[in-house]
Amino acid sequence: MLPNSMNCLYVLSTPVVAALMIPLALFAQEQKVATMKERVQQYAPVQLTADLSRLTDKERQMIPLLLEAAQQMDLIFWQESFGDREALLKSILDPDMRRLVEINYGPWDRLGDNAPFVPGYGAKPLGANYYPQEMTKEMFEAYLQQHPDDREALLNPYTVIRKDALSQLQAVPYHQAYAEPTRIAAEKLKAAAELAEDSGLKKYLELRSVALLTSNYLESDLAWMEMKNNTLDIVIGPIENYEDALFGYKTTHEAYVLIKDQEWSGRLAKYAALLPELQKKLPVPEAYKQESPGSDSDLNAYDVIYYAGDCNAGGKTIAINLPNDERVQLQKGTRRLQLKNAMRAKYDKIMVPIADILIDSSQQQQNTYDAFFQNVMFHEVAHGLGIKNTLGNKGTVREALKEQHSALEECKADILGLYLISQLREQNQLTEGQMADNYVTFLVGIFRSVRFGGASAHGNANMITFNFFSQQGAFSRDAATGRYRADLEKMPIAVAALAEKLITIQGDGNYDAAKKFVEEMSRMPEQLQADLQRINSANIPVDVVFEQGLEYLKLSK
């Protein structure tokens, strides 16, 4: 630590940081061993409700069908992440342990770096259930080299890998591997489509129903981007790739049932038209910003009434940027969905109490919900900017960086989101609040997200940002009070420097550089570990758990 004799503040120098850091993956192990009840209490209960008065009668009739389709994603995700749900739950007598298993979709603590908490279970397989359990990265890559004709099928994001009787690898499409729940979900979407009054929503539901049965999602992704006027929405199918920690190739099933807030969405619409111009202003060399984001990108605000599968496991998503298919992004752009009710719950229950403990009193008033909303929103916008295809003919960034892609991409989105906000404020396109609010709230958000641990791409991304900002002097800590203060002059410099670092690694498709950067920068300083323990001791929840379903919705007028 380097004390400042004038104001008792310090920042961590690079050599000191290296000497006093532990891997983020060990953070949970360093904490006080919690009881099962205490682990369950890490999640603050939140009821998912919404104003349904804007829905038509037919839209209300669609909701039970959409919920039933979503629930099938739960069943599939259990198979992807663990296996036999019922057998596991029946083997557990402790009600708190059972509840923790339900929250985590398995015996591994997602907020504790996937450490097993049920006796008899070891480390979570990196490849979850997408690959044979004994499969290593080296074995899989060697097989691909020996069987180049099988490469496309084996790397397909919508297949699981199994061994046949001759120990040869087979790619089994999702619609075959999870045939029954997939069939039911498709039927429910088709039935909902028959009730849909919005033509865009009807087309999307019909195509998504077909996609579930064929494992071909391109046409339904395009249709989802084309629909603009619908109030009711559902995001459903195999989408994110966080669960595949072996390579990051395989996508995971999930669902959100959503109601669009048309008024809020109208306020956000103007920003979508600015994306091509914002791409040109990125703080990176010209070669890394030649791609142009699709012109159909839009921003919308929603209340979410149901989570299922991947998005409901452990820490809960509060904003979405989809589709992930680079072909759709370059042709149509992406849609950014801000989940207002879930976001508000996290701000009130987690962000505010963290700031009360860790932020200097002179800046606490600058931790605002509006800034939190903006930071999260432009994080999702930033996913669509930067570079998708490597400059060195190594394929997409996702393919080149493999399992390192997720952490770097989340970190890039955090940083570019903050950069975009600064650009919009300079252009007077964004006038609510002030840039200092965004910087201080962003710092509070780092403390919130690093608690997700090293098993989370978002946890690693925020740890990288914390350490990089520390080296840049973008914040300081008062040794006497243990409180942090954002340096409003150094913050923008640090943002631009980290943005350039991340996009350069991505554009170069440099796997070795990505791996080295993530490993070095995602280690936790001991001082931060102690400060996070102060948050834990104050019983501030790490995340939320939803009470959801038809019983929380009033569908009749």
Q: What is the pLDDT of residue 270?
A: 78
Does 516 fall in a domain?
yes
Positions of the chain with pLDDT lower than 50, given as ranges: 1-20, 26-32
Q: What is the pLDDT of residue 186?
A: 98
- Full-model pTM: 0.80
Those residues whose C-beta lies under 8 Å from the C-beta of residue 12, and which sit 6 or more positions away, are: 1, 2, 20, 470, 471, 525, 527
Does 539 fall in a domain?
yes
Range of the domain at 239: 9-552
Q: What is the pLDDT of residue 358?
A: 97
Instruction: Quick: pLDDT tens for 356-383.
Output: 999 999 999 999 999 998 998 888 788 8
Q: Which residue carries 């920690």 as its tokens?
A: 245
SS (H, E, C) 132-157: CCCCCHHHHHHHHHHCHHHHHHHHCC
Q: What is the pLDDT of residue 16?
A: 31
Does 2 fall in a domain?
no
Q: What is the pLDDT of residue 103?
A: 97
Does 437 fall in a domain?
yes
| C-alpha–C-alpha distance, residues 531 and 483, integer Å | 9
Does 4 fall in a domain?
no
Those residues whose C-beta lies under 8 Å from the C-beta of residue 485, and which sit 6 or more positions away, are: 9, 359, 360, 362, 363, 475, 476, 477, 478
Find, among 152, 136, 158, 215, the residue nearest to 183 by Cα: 215
Does 1 fall in a domain?
no
Indicate the residue type of 362: S
Q: What is the pLDDT of residue 28?
A: 46
Q: What is the pLDDT of residue 11?
A: 35
Q: What is the pLDDT of residue 1?
A: 30
> Running DSSP on this structure, what letter comes out for residue 482?
T
Find, among 214, 251, 215, 220, the residue nearest to 235 by Cα: 220
Q: What is the pLDDT of residue 297?
A: 66
Find, among 136, 145, 158, the residue nearest to 238 by Cα: 158
Q: What is the pLDDT of residue 295?
A: 56
| C-alpha–C-alpha distance, residues 54 and 60, integer Å | 10
Q: How many domains does the chain have?
A: 1
Instruction: Quick: pLDDT tens for 191-205.
Output: 999 999 999 999 999
Does 128 fall in a domain?
yes
Does 557 fall in a domain?
no
